Amino acid sequence: MLIRIAGLVPESFVDGDGIRLAVFMQGCLRRCEGCHNPDTHALDGGRLVDTAEIVAAMKRNPLLNGITLTGGEPLLQIDAAEELARAAKNFGLSVWLYTGYEFEDLPPNADALLANVDVMVDGAFVVALRDLNLQFRGSSNQRIIDVKKSRAQKKIVPWSDIGR
Ligand code: SF4
């Protein structure tokens, strides 16, 4: 399957817990003031690659703890995001997802993707709430959510790295 990406970071230490393959997906319509990745906005920007190339990159790096789907807005290419998330889970990798959607306001077709996501950082960046001291997020409205527990308990359960 083809996916339009702005770029890949083979070993990121800042886009989630541990060492992660970060996939910066191309395309976002939100135009948040102060966005750090304006180059990812154009829907026809970046470059098209085959998801198989990204899956191969996951497979060949034994140091990875997981992958991170970020952007841009990953949910604009939800089928490709789901394919990558499913492949990562099959390799025993964790999956983090950054999205401008809030957990309570996800599109109905996000369910299959979410079933393969461990942690979601939700909500659009709000420049007035920007805080450089926050871990793994840019503004304090964004939440780091344990997706599996939140789905099971039908309420937002914050992600915690305690005991990991
Ligand atoms: S949702 Fe993310 S990528 Fe899109 S404009 Fe906002 S900060 Fe930028």
Tell me the best of 5, 26, 32, 99 to mutate to test the pocket of ligand 1, counting ligand atoms within 8 Å of each CB and taking the most. 32
Pairwise CA distance, residues 140 & 108, whole Å: 26
Pairwise CA distance, residues 85 & 103, whole Å: 17
Ligand 1 center to 142 CA (angstroms): 12
Which neighbouring-strand residues pair with 3? 49
Q: Assess contact for 156 and 145: CB atoms under 8 A.
A: yes
What is the residue with the minimal CA distance to atom 8 of ligand 1?
A: 35
Q: pTM to 2 decimals?
A: 0.96
For 59-107, the pLDDT digits (tens) are 999 999 999 999 999 999 999 999 999 999 999 999 999 999 999 999 9
Confidence (pLDDT) at 163: 47
pLDDT over 80 (residue 161)? no
Confidence (pLDDT) at 164: 53
For 99-113, the pLDDT digits (tens) are 999 999 999 999 999
Q: Which structural domains are found in the chain, ordered by start?
A: 2-153 (3.20.20.70)
CA-based nearest residue to 64, from 13, 137, 136: 13
With tokens 């939140």, the residue in question is 150
Q: Which atom of ligand 1 is nearest to the CA of 31?
A: 5
Q: Which atom of ligand 1 is nearest to the CA of 100?
A: 1
With tokens 């191309």, the residue in question is 26
Spell out the alpha helix ranges (H) of the chain: 51-60, 78-90, 111-114, 147-153
CA-based nearest residue to 28, from 75, 67, 78: 75
Confidence (pLDDT) at 35: 93
